[in-house]
Amino acid sequence: MVDQELHRGLEDIAVAETRLSTIDGEAGELIIGGYPVEELAKNALYEESVFLLFNDRLPTKSELESFRTELAGYRKISEEIKQVLRQAARENADAMDALRMGVAAANLGFDSTESTDHAKRLVSVIPTIVTTYWRYRSGKEPVEPRDDLGHTANYLYMLSGEEPDPAAVRGLETYLNTVVDHGLNASTFVARSIASSDSDLVSAVTGAVGSLKGPLHGGAPGPVLEMLLVAHESDDPEGYVQEKLDAGERLMGFGHRVYRTRDPRAEVLSRAAERLYSGSGDRAFFGFVEEFEETAVSRLSDHKPDRKLETNVEFYTAVLLYGVGIPQELFTTTFAVSRVGGWVAHCLEQAADNKIIRPVSIYVGDHNRSWTPAENR
């Protein structure tokens, strides 16, 4: 057998060509569909970002109106899916578990055979699944989607049943654009791998949701918020940070697998959060957050001088989503509300020039065992 080099986690192994996004971890740059993330995130509607990923260009005004109308038409879910989500809420299922159940049933009552239709359906229906589950979990009836609202505004409307605040919509829109795609991350790789077997998009996205649920991938913003709220209560960011480091505990929201500088998405979301909090009257909390970040980065540099532990996307995700009014339990599902656009775009890209993804493993077990009958073992 030929000797093979082991690459744990497939680190630095290229398995696909893509036009969707690229990352420069050393320079701290993220390009989505040809646009720097800071330019796309602050200007685009989420529907424009998805259209860009699907078509490799931004839509014209008439194309955007048509695309928004089409997505809005795919938002409703069947009574059978509602029953699944109702039962998940009764059993206090984790929000990501409920999302996985809902996504797996997303093609019930949906009879198109076109993969692009299923892609649009998945983008449109995930907010409805998330909000329907949460309304049931909160002891309320679900709010039906509104065709006259954009994707982001409709998500907030279905959560609360109230007309969303424009500042909150813009803040959340910026977030959705910022995290819509990010290279061949764990959940996107899962989606592409499933798609590479010529499976369907619902199966691919269900698998991606399962990957995103893992705390090493999509679960960090919740703990970041808990950390910031406790630290804010103490009103001593320097003391809190030092206590955590002295205890050998990790500071959530700092360090990234790819970036060796400040995560460019953190830069985008910090500006969005500053605008949101400046208008909401809670500027004091945001001021504390900035002080905490500065203290943490400085202390981490002293504590681990051989590592570049800069602010990552989860830090300001927590701050922004908290300011928008997203419940902490829905932080990861809100991540999925955005990233589904990237998942399905990758699956469509994979299908256009497909070869099944089939890595190998290195066998480290025995070779010469002899069978022993059960009565002699």
pLDDT in tens, 306-346: 788 899 999 999 999 999 999 999 999 999 999 999 999 99
- Is 68 a domain residue? yes
Band (2; pLDDT cuts 50, 70, 90): low
Which tokens hold the place of 188? Answer: 């996107």
**Residues 96, 234 share a domain:** no
pLDDT band with cut points at 50, 70 and 90 for residue 216: confident
**Contact call for residues 186 and 214 (beta carbons, < 8 A):** yes
Please tell me whether residues 206 and 295 are part of one structural domain. Answer: no
**Mean local confidence (pLDDT), 349-375:** 94
Could you tell me if 94 and 199 lie in one domain?
yes
Is residue 54 assigned to a domain? yes
The residue with greater pLDDT, 369 or 108, is: 369
Of these ranges, 15-19, 204-208, 244-248, the one predicted with the greatest mean pLDDT is: 204-208
SS3 label, residue 311: strand
Residue 112 has a pLDDT of 83
Question: What's the whole-number mean pLDDT along residues 10-26?
Answer: 91
Judge whether 225 and 322 are in contact, CB under 8 Å. Answer: yes
CATH of the domain at 101: 1.10.580.10
User: In this structure, are residues 41 and 178 in contact, taking their beta carbons and an 8 Å threshold?
Assistant: yes
- Let me know whether 53 and 122 are in one domain: yes
Query: Could you tell me the CATH number of the domain that includes residue 256?
Result: 1.10.230.10
Cα-based distances in Å from 91 to 94, 104, 293: 9, 18, 38
Out of 293, 314, 346, 349, pick the active-site residue.
Answer: 314
Residue 324 makes CB contacts below 8 A (sequence gap 6+) with 156, 168, 171, 172, 175, 276
Mean pLDDT, to the nearest integer, of 292-296?
A: 96
CA atoms of 71 and 93, how far apart (whole Å): 28
**114 falls within a domain:** yes
Backbone Cα Rg of the chain: 22
> Are 177 and 294 in a shared domain?
no
The answer to whether residue 176 scores a pLDDT higher than 70 is yes
Nearest-CA neighbor of 102 among 173, 196, 94? Answer: 94
Average pLDDT for the chain: 94
Give the number of other CB atoms < 10 A from CB of residue 244.
18
In this predicted structure, what is the pLDDT of residue 8?
82
Q: What is the pLDDT, as a whole number, of residue 58?
A: 98
Asked whether residue 168 falls in the same domain as residue 303, the answer is no
Residue 172 has pLDDT above 90, yes or no: yes
In the DSSP assignment, the letter for residue 44 is -
What CA dihedral angle connects 179, 180, 185 and 190, to 10 degrees? 140
Q: Are residues 146 and 241 part of one domain?
A: no
* Closest to 72 in 3D by CA, of 139, 8, 163, 157: 157
Choose the weakest-confidence range: 5-9, 142-146, 274-278, 373-377.
5-9
Residue 45: phi and psi, rounded to 5, are -80, 155
Provide the 8-state DSSP code for 374. Answer: G
Do residue 346 and residue 228 come from a single domain? no
Same domain, 110 and 192: yes
Q: Is residue 366 part of a domain?
A: no
In degrees to the nearest 10, what's the CA dihedral of 181, 185, 190, 192? 50
Give a three-class secondary structure readout of 337-348.
HHHHHHHHHHHH
Tracing tokens 């932080």 back to the chain, one arrives at 331
- Residue pair 212/206 in contact (Cβ under 8 Å)? The answer is no
Per-residue confidence band for 109, with pLDDT thresholds at 50, 70 and 90: confident
- How many domains are contained in the chain? 2
93 φ, ψ to 5°?
-65, 150
Inside any domain, residue 273: yes
pLDDT at 149 over 70: yes
Tell whether the model's pLDDT for residue 135 goes beyond 80: yes
333 domain residue, yes or no: no
Query: Which of 204-213, 256-265, 314-323, 337-346 comes out lowest in average pLDDT?
Result: 256-265
Return the pLDDT at 64: 98
Segment 256-262 shows an average pLDDT of: 89
Contacts of residue 145, defined as CB under 8 A and 6 or more positions apart, other chains included, come to 72, 75, 76, 127, 128, 154, 157, 158
- Whether 315 and 256 share a structural domain: yes
Q: How far apart, in whole angstroms, are the C-alpha atoms of residue 22 and residue 36? A: 10
Residue 125 belongs to domain spanning: 29-210+339-352
Residue that has been written with the tokens 């532990």 in this structure: 309
Residue 289 to residue 142: CA distance in whole angstroms: 34
346 shares a domain with 289 = no
- Say if residues 47 and 150 touch (Cβ distance below 8 Å): yes
Indicate the pLDDT class of residue 3, thresholds 50, 70 and 90: low
User: Is 365 part of any domain?
Assistant: no
Scan for tokens 């199966």, then name that residue.
203
Residue pointed to by tokens 């493993």: 361
β partners of residue 23: 30
- Determine whether 314 is an active site residue: yes
Is 256 a catalytic site residue? yes
Asked whether residue 308 falls in the same domain as residue 201, the answer is no
**Does residue 242 fall inside a structural domain?**
yes
Rounded CA separation 58/36 (Å): 14
Residue 1, pLDDT above cutoff 90:
no
Cα–Cα dist 73/52, whole Å:
20
Could you say which of 118, 151, 182, 256 is catalytic?
256
